[in-house]
Amino acid sequence: MPYLDQTQVQGKRVLVRSDLNVPIDQGNIRDDNRIRASLPTYKYILDQGASLIICSHLGKPKGQKDPSLSLNPVAERLQELLGREVKMAPDCVGDEVQALADSLQPGDVLLLENLRFQPGETKNDPDFSRQLASLAEIYVNDAFGVVHRAHASVVGVTEHVQTACAGFLLQKEIEYLGKALSSPEHPFVLVAGGAKVSTKLGILTNLLDTVDRIIVGGAMANTFLRSMGVSVGSSKVEDDLIEQALETMKTARSKGISFYLPVDCLTGTDLKAVKPSGIFPFQDVPANEMILDIGPATHTLFAEVLRDAKTVVWNGPMGAFENPSFSQGSVGLAQSVAKVEGLTIVGGGDTDSLVHTCGLVESMSFISTGGGSFLEFLEGKKLPGIKALGL
Ligand code: ADP
Ligand code: MG
């Protein structure tokens, strides 16, 4: 069965692939959201009378042991959050780890050491996959952040276990993002922003048959403005994508989609400017100035476009929001999305942290835990980790 709640786990050893890649500073976990988000899946498995083996990657150790990337601090935090002992394995595979796994009783918890300490993980090595699989009878994938990667703990392992299924976190991602793709309520508004057109063009293209309105902001809007012959001062433009940006707008128009770009902007001399140089209409950006945020008229326009939306998918901030002088547009957009009464889906690492900073998490229907996987899912790609579960 593809989902955890349809799978018999009682009395079994269950291996859960989670995304516990949390920020750690000198042994201190700065943000334990990912650990907390994984708890419902863990608690369910333990309550069902199974033993639990958890695995994850942390950072990029490139197939070698690196003590600074040990999951030890995660084991400690997990122990506090679960209120029961969490054993820390010295590695993720091998005789010692196998013996630890074999000795587990129902209700016991074992955390494996960083998967990426082993070179076989990112290579999807069959031998490493088999060793991982031999630790348990049931495999649960609950790591949406890595389902676009054909790694051993995501893909290879599924070929060697008796049963493979999706955990609660992954299930939620598939349900929300799947709904946006296959049965959205209309009007459906796509909001795309952020740094680069190149990383977002795929999702724009794939949603052209589904959405009613598209809003483009952030640095990626510069390339679209440029494609219409507007000079955008010294703003970042992806020259090699100007043609494709224009084509995308033409296709959108031919399909009856309303396409909105910023009508005014805040500019600065560079990303670190202590205050905006001014507010300009999009066609009047001074030659030596960069567009760093959307302006107030654009904020009003975008808010109006979103007002009656029934479905919103939003990825990418409207400006260089890390600099408080240029964060107003992104904060304003977050507030507009938060007011929407329909289904609101937010994704992307920077957009996620923006929504957290604004305190608007509770006002969104769903915030995806994926960055690359969120984009690839909405590009319509079949993701290897999801396919491997037969979903
Ligand atoms: P996400 O992580 O949510 O997918 P991106 O990584 O695509 O978003 O984009 C976020 C980055 O884009 C931020 O670092 C932000 O500063 C930058 N950015 C957005 N608009 C601008 C702009 N007008 N000029 C320069 N950088 C921008
Ligand atoms: Mg980002």
pLDDT digits (tens, 9 = 90+) for 108-142: 999 999 999 999 999 999 999 999 999 999 999 99
Residues 113 and 24 both lie in one domain = yes
Residues 19 and 128 both lie in one domain = yes
Last residue of a domain, one of 150, 171, 192: 171
pLDDT tens-digit map of 21-69? 999 999 999 999 899 999 999 999 999 999 999 999 999 999 999 999 9
Last residue of a domain, one of 171, 201, 229: 171
For residue 391, the CA-to-ligand 2 centroid distance in Å is: 28
Residue 387 lies in a domain: no
What is the domain range of residue 76? Answer: 4-171
The pLDDT assigned to 55 comes to 98
Tokens 């902001």 correspond to what residue? 217
- Give the whole-angstrom CA distance, residue 22 versus residue 175: 25
Q: Tell me the residue length of the chain.
A: 391
Please say whether the beta carbons of 342 and 189 come within 8 A.
Answer: no
For residue 196, the CA-to-ligand 2 centroid distance in Å is: 10
Please say whether the beta carbons of 156 and 149 come within 8 A.
Answer: no
Residues 199 and 93 both lie in one domain = no
Residues 150 and 201 both lie in one domain = no
Residues 213 and 130 both lie in one domain = no
Residues 147 and 195 both lie in one domain = no
Q: What is the mean pLDDT of residues 141-159?
A: 98
- DSSP β-bridge partners for residue 215: 191, 260
Residues 252 and 134 both lie in one domain = no
Residue 389 lies in a domain: no
Residue 130 lies in a domain: yes
- Give the whole-angstrom CA distance, residue 190 versus residue 314: 6
Ligand nearest to the CA of 194: 1
| Ligand 1 atom 26, closest CA | 320
The pLDDT assigned to 41 comes to 98
- Give the whole-angstrom CA distance, residue 228 versus residue 245: 9
Residue 271: pLDDT band with limits 50, 70, 90? very high
Residues 154 and 245 both lie in one domain = no
User: Which of 350, 352, 358, 373 to probe ligand 1 with, by most ligand atoms within 8 A of CB?
Assistant: 350
Q: For residue 141, which phi and psi values (nearest 5 degrees)?
A: -95, 120
Residues 165 and 192 both lie in one domain = no
% of residues, the chain, pLDDT over 90: 98
Q: Which atom of ligand 1 is nearest to the CA of 222?
A: 23
DSSP state, 131?
A: H
Residue 1: pLDDT band with limits 50, 70, 90? low
Residue 123 lies in a domain: yes
- Give the whole-angstrom CA distance, residue 390 versus residue 47: 26
For residue 195, the CA-to-ligand 2 centroid distance in Å is: 8
Q: What is the mean pLDDT of residues 258-263?
A: 98
Q: Pairing between strand 264-268 and 278-281?
A: antiparallel
| Ligand 1 atom 5, closest CA | 194
Residue type, 328: Q
Residue 179 lies in a domain: no
Coil, helix or strand for 16? strand
pLDDT tens-digit map of 318-333? 999 999 999 999 999 9
Whether the model clears a pTM of 0.85, i.e. scores above it, the answer is yes
- Give the whole-angstrom CA distance, residue 93 versus residue 136: 12
Q: Which atom of ligand 1 is nearest to the CA of 352?
A: 3
The pLDDT assigned to 381 comes to 96
Residue 176 lies in a domain: no
Residues 149 and 17 both lie in one domain = yes
Q: How many domains are contained in the chain?
A: 2
The pLDDT assigned to 227 comes to 97
What is the domain-level CATH number for residue 30? 3.40.50.1260
Q: What is the mean pLDDT of residues 334-356?
A: 96
Ligand nearest to the CA of 316: 1
Please say whether the beta carbons of 311 and 184 come within 8 A.
Answer: yes
Residue 177 lies in a domain: no
pLDDT tens-digit map of 154-180? 999 999 999 999 999 999 999 999 999
Residue 150 lies in a domain: yes
- Summary mean pLDDT of the chain: 97
Residues 156 and 265 both lie in one domain = no
Q: Which atom of ligand 1 is nearest to the CA of 293?
A: 23
Q: How far is CA 5 from CA 136, 143, 367, in A?
A: 18, 17, 22
Last residue of a domain, one of 136, 171, 206: 171
Q: Which residues line ligand 1 (CB under 6 A)?
A: 194-195, 199, 218-219, 236, 291-292, 315-317, 319-322, 348-351
User: Which of 223, 224, 226, 321 to probe ligand 1 with, by most ligand atoms within 8 A of CB?
Assistant: 321
Catalytic residues, by residue number, are: 34, 196, 349, 372
Please say whether the beta carbons of 67 and 114 come within 8 A.
Answer: no
For residue 302, the CA-to-ligand 1 centroid distance in Å is: 18
Residues 197 and 132 both lie in one domain = no
pLDDT tens-digit map of 292-302? 999 999 999 99
Q: Which atom of ligand 1 is nearest to the CA of 218?
A: 20
For residue 79, the CA-to-ligand 2 centroid distance in Å is: 31
